[in-house]
Amino acid sequence: MKKITIIGTGYVGLVSGAGLAEFGHEVACLDIDENKIKNLNSGKIPIYEPGLENLVRKNVQDKRLAFSSDIEKNIIESNIIFIAVGTPQDENGKADLKAVKSVVDLVANNLNNYKIICTKSTVPVGTGKWIESQIKSINPNLDFDYVSNPEFLREGAAVNDFLSPDRVIIGSRTEKAFNEMKEVYRPLYINETPILSTSIETAEMIKYASNSFLALKISYINEIANLCEEVGADVHQVAKAMGQDGRISSKFLHPGPGFGGSCFPKDIQALYALGKEKNIELNTIDATIKTNKNQKKRILNKLLRLLNNQVTGKKIAVLGLSFKPNTDDIRESPSLYIISELSKLGAVVDAYDPVAIENFKSMHQNINYSGTWKECVKDADACIVLTEWNEFRGMDLNELKSLLKTPILIDAKNIFSIEKLKLLKFNYDNVGRNFS
């Protein structure tokens, strides 16, 4: 088994660290935020991710997983160092590599013998080449290998995605590095999970290409949904039939208010920025970005239409703040745009989410927050559902109508029965299904 150091304890670093410990390795997850490390050592998980708390607790108890801010010591003692820090979008749409560059310098100054330095962070194509060059310039006599090992973790299903992935990508320049990394994932190899060997540049591109394609699928089905509304077709039936075509598959063919989260928006922007840098027109990528922005506006306009554009002073109940269910991540969530616009128009916004309220408060302190969906919708002039939490799927529509001041409902995730809503005489709209 390997002695592994992971630098960064966000979604990727924490899930990867717990997963690698579960594979039997000795793992140290590191962060410069000492308060964060203190909380982790006391059992407080900084993110909401189903199954993660139990996985962390189990491997800490089994002494395979530890948390520390002593980066230098753990770099020296490890065999493999994973870089798992954030690469947010900068003002030009490119990936901001400040954190990555800081970690690389730190690693380079503390290497003492052969090690593998591996990125889990999503980085632009060419970053690996720069990292190799930077380490050599700081520590020219050291023998090391660099590897690109991109993650494909879905928030809300990240633990399962790590323990049972569709594939593992290992981008390396040497057979030695590939074989070492293959041993890291030995439990998956035994289970016949495909472990693909590529160049470093190919591995970097696979991550961006995959996320951008999935984002494209979402934007595509949203545009089809919008057209369905105009011609009287049902987008659910359209998507179901499309998904039965093996060339297409049913995944990511679910219309809604647009994609969000920590990956798709920044990764597709970074890919577009790379295309501009290399003078390559990425027209489908550009269209995907524009469609996603327009979809959020379209959902807002549906609500305004049902309210006859009279929003000032109206109580609007917003159900769902996270960009998807089973996570507390609000980054690029459609709710951020819609609530911001409603507030500008003078609406009184009351919001509820099972787990994301505290995160949302850091962005919006000028709205009301409720402890239950019933409290949120009580005496509201309209309700809009933006996240498909199971709690919302299970709502009693009779009770919902009785609590609302007026039965105006926007179902941006298509979780309710149109027939039931018609029967109850809701003033209703959705995405891609004819209600008239």
Catalytic residues: 263
Query: How many Å apart are CA 372 and CA 192, to the nearest integer?
Result: 45
- Amino acid, single-letter form, for residue 159: V
Backbone angles phi, psi at 290, to 5 degrees: -65, -40
Environment class of residue 313 by beta-carbon count within 10 Å: exposed (0-12), middle (13-18) or buried (19+)? exposed
Q: Could you please report the per-residue DSSP string of 129-151?
A: HHHHHHHHHHSTT--EEEEE---
Query: How many Å apart are CA 64 and CA 24, to the nearest integer?
Result: 7
- Amino acid, single-letter form, for residue 198: T
Environment class of residue 184 by beta-carbon count within 10 Å: exposed (0-12), middle (13-18) or buried (19+)? buried
Residue 13 neighbours by CB distance under 10 Å? 23
For residue 341, give the DSSP letter: H
Burial 266-296 (b: 16+ CB within 10 A, else e): bbbbbbbbbeeeeeeebeebeebbebbeebb
Q: How many helices (H) and strands (E) does the chain have?
A: 19, 14
Residue 375 neighbours by CB distance under 10 Å? 14
Q: Could you please report the per-residue DSSP string of 190-220?
A: HTT--EEEE-HHHHHHHHHHHHHHHHHHHHH
Residue 236, both tokens:
């659910």
Torsion of Cα atoms, 160 then 324 then 53 then 42, to 10°: 150
In this structure, are residues 413 and 346 in contact, taking their beta carbons and an 8 Å threshold? no
- Amino acid, single-letter form, for residue 235: V
Q: Could you please report the per-residue DSSP string of 19-43?
A: HHHHTT-EEEEE-S-HHHHHHHHTT
